[in-house]
């Protein structure tokens, strides 16, 4: 009623509530009246009915229906209920796979291509950095490298000049090597012992 903004609807709801309250009161009164009638008829029967033979307790020696009922419960209803319970227990809930999972292989392939592309671009960037670093290093070390090259050229020139006063030279094509130095007898004995 608090949510209803229309006054006519609110009045209609109040009238229906009042009518329902009247019906509930009428049902309570009917129930009390029936209860009194049952109680009064029970008192009449109790006073007029003779007690059953055997001291007021009806004892029957016919236990057949109870035995059949208990066997039915033990051998039929119990296994059926266990089977039904087991079936419910083992039933796995069916969960629908998300629609996005159906195209997972295609998505993985696109992701793989994207990673390969990124790796190639990173390699290009690192190659560019190496090139720029080499250029900057060469520009910064150009005077030192020129000095090293000049000293290497000077050392080569000195090595190519013949030594003054020395008649030693390297063997050229077709030249014979020097004669071997002869060892003394003691050195020869020492060499034989070593072998």
Residue 127: band (very low, low, confident or very high) from pLDDT cuts 50, 70, 90:
very high
pLDDT per position as a tens digit, 137-188? 888 888 888 888 888 888 888 777 765 655 556 666 777 776 666 667 667 7
In which domain, by residue range, is 11 found?
1-48
88 belongs to a structural domain: no
64 belongs to a structural domain: no
72 belongs to a structural domain: no
192 belongs to a structural domain: no
Number of domains in the chain: 2
63 belongs to a structural domain: no
Q: Is 107 helix (H, G, I), strand (E, B) or coil?
A: helix
Q: Is 161 helix (H, G, I), strand (E, B) or coil?
A: coil
37 belongs to a structural domain: yes
Indicate the burial class of 24 (C-beta count within 10 angstroms; 0-12, 13-18, 19 or more): exposed
Contact yes or no for 77/85 (Cβ under 8 A):
no
CA 145 – CA 86 distance, rounded (Å): 88
76 belongs to a structural domain: no
Q: State pTM to two decimals.
A: 0.27
């Amino acid at each position: 009623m608090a949510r209803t903004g229309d006054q006519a609807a609110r009045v209609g709801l109040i009238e229906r509530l009042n009518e329902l309250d009247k019906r509930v009161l009428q049902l309570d009164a009917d129930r009390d009246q029936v209860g009194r009638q049952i109680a009064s008829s029970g008192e009449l029967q109790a006073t007029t009915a003779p007690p059953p033979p055997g001291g007021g307790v009806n004892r029957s020696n016919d236990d057949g229906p109870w035995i059949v009922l208990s066997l039915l419960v033990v051998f039929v209803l119990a296994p059926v209920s266990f089977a039904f319970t087991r079936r419910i227990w083992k039933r796995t809930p069916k969960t629908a796979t998300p629609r996005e999972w159906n195209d997972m292989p295609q998505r993985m392939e696109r992701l793989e291509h994207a990673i390969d592309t990124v790796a190639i671009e990173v390699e290009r960037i690192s190659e560019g950095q190496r090139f720029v670093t080499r250029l900057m290093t060469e520009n910064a070390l150009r005077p030192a490298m020129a000095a090293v090259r000049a000293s290497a050229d000077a050392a080569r020139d000195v090595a190519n000049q013949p030594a003054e006063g020395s008649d030693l030279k390297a063997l050229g094509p077709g030249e014979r090597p020097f004669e071997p130095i002869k060892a003394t007898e003691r050195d020869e004995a020492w060499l034989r012992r070593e072998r």
